[in-house]
Amino acid sequence: MNIAQIATTRRTCKAFDPQRKIPDAVMADLRTVLRFAPASVNVQPWHFVVAASDESKAKIAATLAGNYAYNAPKVARCSHAVVFCAKTDLDEAHLAALLAQEEADGRFPTPEGKALQNNARHFYVKSHQDKQDLDTWVDRQIYIALGNLLLAAGALGVDACPMEGIDTEAIDAALDLRVRGLRSVVIVALGYSAEDDFNARLPKSRLPEVSLFSDI
């Protein structure tokens, strides 16, 4: 299957089969995709909380009440739920850890290369701190990882449902995220479609190419 076929056949799963679990090897591949997602200046401002047990999924599902109750069964019934978290602060400890890892991985053939990367990353972080839009910039990186996961899941035959309809404050409290310097952004339920997944029987719908592209 080529990349265009994956993009045109993957869909958002609306109901998961609770009896079907993602094999460990497939889940390992999806975790690798998340770990290696691209980010601006390789800032990697994320953390992924993966819930696989019934108990852990129930804890997350319990936060989805009121206006978000429609999403609770998706989390409860899926194979794995992934909470995409953002770091609340890109502090010196995080930036130093990134630089040390890049050096250990052989990213800097010269001291000048190391200094250039360090300076560039600090510039962008400080720039967004000064503009007071650091969370917005970080969230954009989170959504790059989200897109990678959705496409990878489709390639591996795994159904997915990204959910912004969540109570982030309730999730943060339930998972003790804030004390870890994290905040929840979006959840992705992963697994396999059930018979009552109405979206599996519907065609995909997108605006025509002519309205989306301008060739210059």
- 142-186 pLDDT, tens digit per residue, is 999 999 999 999 999 999 999 999 999 999 999 999 999 999 999
Q: What is the C-alpha to C-alpha distance for residues 157 and 46, in angstroms, rounded to an integer?
A: 25
pLDDT tens column, 140-153? 999 999 999 999 99
Catalytic residue among 92, 126, 131, 164: 164
Catalytic residue among 14, 57, 103, 114: 14
- Full-model pTM: 0.96
Look up 14 and say whether it is catalytic: yes
Residue 111: per-residue pLDDT: 97
Mean pLDDT across the stretch 76-92?
98
Residue 77: per-residue pLDDT: 98
Look up 57 and say whether it is catalytic: no
Look up 209 and say whether it is catalytic: no
Q: Which residue has the tokens 């770990």?
A: 35
What six digits make up the tokens of 201?
Answer: 């029987």
pLDDT tens column, 112-143? 999 999 999 999 999 999 999 999 999 999 99
pLDDT band at 189 (very low <50, low <70, confident <90, very high): very high
pLDDT of residue 1 exceeding 90, the answer is: no
Residue 165: per-residue pLDDT: 96
Tell me which amino acid residue 117 is: Q
